């Protein structure tokens, strides 16, 4: 196994939209595979049909397409170890369950839900919890307590059964985890987990191990919530006589305040998405926001997630996917949970927007323009994006910040007018407007100097006059540098807007 190229898998269950923590798990698998020249697989673990949600599998595939993380093998791609969807592998699992029973590592159990419930209640009375294990299994209805004939007869007659794992009593099980080191648990603390059911379906545990083995998975990199299952998995490899893959259990993604696991509800409560794409729940109709629809760039999401639980040990924060691949190693993953931060997420997005050329941002912006039903010329729009980009955290803010470049204001901020507009301002704005239009071809620097000189020579209140000019152009006293705006808008448009604001504030001039 040492010289083998690593093979890792992301193995989601299609029970709903993919949580952002799952995306991080997949990302770490991807980075590890690419760093080491290995393969990254997508396996869909859909053995629990009761939790199946329509659309979830498609959602998962679309999310990774958006993020730009490509699988080498798996559902939707194919490969030599397929099928990659567990429901399509169903017939494969039975012989493995039977092998475990034959070898004394598992047994058939016929206990009804009612009898198990009764056992639980009985234990509760004694302030204990019932566990199906070495201390109790010999008092239950299973192939260890029934004769071979009786067991066969029950199976042949179609009586429902499960196959349970038979832990050896009082045995220390060692899990070597690449992040956590050695984890030891005594088998007496573990219950005889169900591996297979008479309806022909394996449970997660059996299917997961059989698939990881038959798909030649070398490293299992998954969330910390699976650590409690790892001792069973280690034992299953032992029972089958297979070499186990290496395990790496990733730290949890925590709420912004660090108190517990990041949940869907935190996202709703604190106003950030916990899913990569918007999700429309097919049952309840409930809509959960997605990073994509909120205006995050996929590169920003990848960069942010990479650093939630891993860092290369330097101050650098911005990494391309290639850089991440180059630098990634499992030993730089932290043991403690990583706190999600909305400010940081936004910071990354702002940074990535700045790294995009205005041309690259065009598709995001033209979408907004089309939604607003506003016509535009491409060159003009590009100039506006050039100028306004630095103010954007999300492309969706473009209209609020830059709409005035396309539609003249019809209302003016009363507060700003009150502060800036003085007696005689209208007259002064007309003078400035004249000065702006003096050159045949607008020369921004010349116009700027001319206006400034005039203001100084006449001892006008510069802040009041220029901000009033701005109110006429933008609708309020904000926006980018005045002459840069005028340069883009053109003096004809500025003239119109100046007349309009004077009329609005001081009444008609005739």
- Enumerate the active-site residues: 264
The structure tokens listed for 507 are 């009444």
The smaller minimum CB distance to ligand GLU, of residues 134 and 253, is found at 253
Residue closer to ligand GLU, measured from CB, 44 or 67:
44
* Interaction site with ligand GLU (CB under 6 A): 11-13, 45, 208, 222, 226
| Smallest separation (angstroms) from ligand GLU to the CB of 29 | 9
Query: Least distance from C-beta 218 to ligand GLU, angstroms?
Result: 14
**Which residues lie across from 39 on neighbouring strands?**
7
Q: How far is the CB of 134 from ligand GLU (least distance, A)?
A: 25
**Axis crossing angle, helix 462-474 with helix 444-457, rounded to the nearest 10:** 140
Residue 258 burial (C-beta neighbours within 10 Å; 0-12, 13-18, 19+): exposed
Residue 78 makes CB contacts below 8 A (sequence gap 6+) with 84
Our measurement of the distance from residue 111's CA atom to the centroid of its chain's CA atoms, rounded to an integer in Å, reads: 42
Residue whose token pair is 């101050």: 315
Structure tokens at 280: 């429309």
In the complex, least distance from residue 352 CB atom to ligand GLU, rounded to whole angstroms: 28
Quick one: 12 or 475, whose CB is closer to ligand GLU? 12
CB-nearer residue toward ligand GLU: 56 or 101: 56
Least distance to ligand GLU, CB of residue 179, Å: 14
Contacts of 325 (CB under 8 A, 6+ apart): 31, 34, 35
Q: Which is nearer to ligand GLU, 13 or 303 (CB)?
A: 13
- Which position has the token pair 């990494």? 319
Phi, psi for 175 (deg, rounded to 5) = -110, 120
Maximal C-alpha separation, the chain: 112
Residue 223's DSSP bridge partners are: 250
Judged by beta carbon, residue 236 or residue 477, the one nearer ligand GLU is 236
Shortest separation between residue 229's beta carbon and ligand GLU, angstroms: 7
Select 45 or 192, whichever has its Cβ closest to ligand GLU: 45
In degrees, rounded to 5, the angle at the alpha carbon of residue 103 between the alpha carbons of residues 99 and 105 is 90
User: Least distance from C-beta 92 to ligand GLU, angstroms?
Assistant: 17
C-beta separation of 264 from 274 below 8 A: yes
**Cβ 464 vs Cβ 420: under 8 Å:** yes
CB 217 within 8 A of CB 148: no
- Cross-strand pairs, 10: 42
Contact between residue 302 and residue 68 where contact means Cβ atoms under 8 Å apart: yes
Is the Cβ–Cβ distance between 40 and 77 less than 8 Å? no
């Amino acid at each position: 196994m040492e010289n083998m190229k690593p093979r890792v898998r992301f193995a989601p269950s299609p029970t709903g939209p993919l949580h952002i923590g799952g995306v991080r798990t997949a990302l770490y698998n991807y980075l590890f595979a690419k760093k080491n020249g290995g393969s990254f697989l997508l396996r869909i673990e859909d053995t629990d049909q009761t939790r199946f949600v329509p659309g979830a599998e498609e959602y998962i595939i679309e999310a990774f397409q958006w993020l730009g993380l490509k699988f080498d093998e798996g559902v939707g791609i194919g490969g030599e170890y397929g099928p990659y969807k567990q429901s399509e592998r169903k017939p494969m699992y039975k012989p493995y369950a039977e092998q475990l029973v034959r070898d004394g590592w598992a047994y058939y159990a016929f206990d009804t839900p009612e009898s198990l419930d009764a056992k639980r209640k009985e234990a509760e009375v004694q302030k204990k919890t019932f566990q199906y294990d070495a201390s109790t299994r010999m008092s239950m209805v299973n192939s260890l307590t029934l004769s071979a004939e009786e067991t066969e007869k029950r199976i042949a007659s179609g009586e429902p059964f499960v196959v349970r794992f038979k832990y050896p009593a009082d045995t220390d099980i060692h899990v070597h985890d690449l992040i956590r080191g050695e984890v030891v648990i005594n088998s007496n603390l573990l219950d005889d987990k169900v591996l297979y059911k008479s309806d022909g379906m394996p449970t997660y545990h059996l299917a997961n191990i059989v698939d990881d083995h038959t798909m030649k998975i070398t490293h299992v990199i998954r969330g910390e919530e699976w650590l409690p299952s790892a001792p069973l998995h280690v034992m299953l490899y032992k029972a089958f006589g297979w070499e186990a893959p290496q395990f790496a259990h990733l730290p949890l993604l925590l709420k912004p305040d660090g108190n517990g696991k990041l949940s869907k509800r935190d996202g709703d409560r604190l106003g950030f998405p916990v899913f990569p794409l918007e999700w429309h729940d097919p049952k309840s109709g409930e809509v959960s926001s997605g990073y994509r629809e909120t205006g995050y760039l996929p590169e920003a999401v990848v960069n942010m997630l990479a650093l939630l639980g891993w860092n290369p040990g330097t101050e650098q924060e911005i990494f391309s996917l290639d850089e991440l691949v180059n630098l990634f190693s499992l030993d730089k993953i932290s043991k403690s949970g990583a706190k999600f931060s909305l400010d940081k997420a936004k910071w990354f997005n702002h940074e990535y927007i700045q790294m995009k050329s205005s041309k690259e941002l065009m598709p995001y912006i033209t979408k907004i323009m089309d939604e607003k039903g506003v016509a535009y010329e491409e060159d003009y729009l590009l100039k506006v994006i050039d100028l306004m980009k630095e103010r954007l955290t999300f492309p969706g803010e473009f209209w609020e910040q830059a709409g005035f470049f396309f539609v003249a204001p019809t209302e003016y901020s009363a507060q700003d007018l009150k502060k800036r507009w003085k007696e005689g301002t209208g007259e002064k704005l007309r003078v400035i407007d004249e000065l702006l239009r003096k050159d045949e071809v607008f020369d921004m620097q010349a116009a700027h100097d001319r206006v400034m000189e005039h203001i100084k020579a006449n001892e006008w209140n510069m802040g009041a006059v220029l901000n009033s000019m701005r109110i006429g152009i933008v609708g309020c006293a904000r926006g980018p540098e005045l002459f840069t705006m005028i340069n883009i808008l053109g003096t004809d448009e500025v003239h119109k807007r100046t007349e309009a604001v004077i009329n609005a504030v001081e009444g008609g001039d005739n």
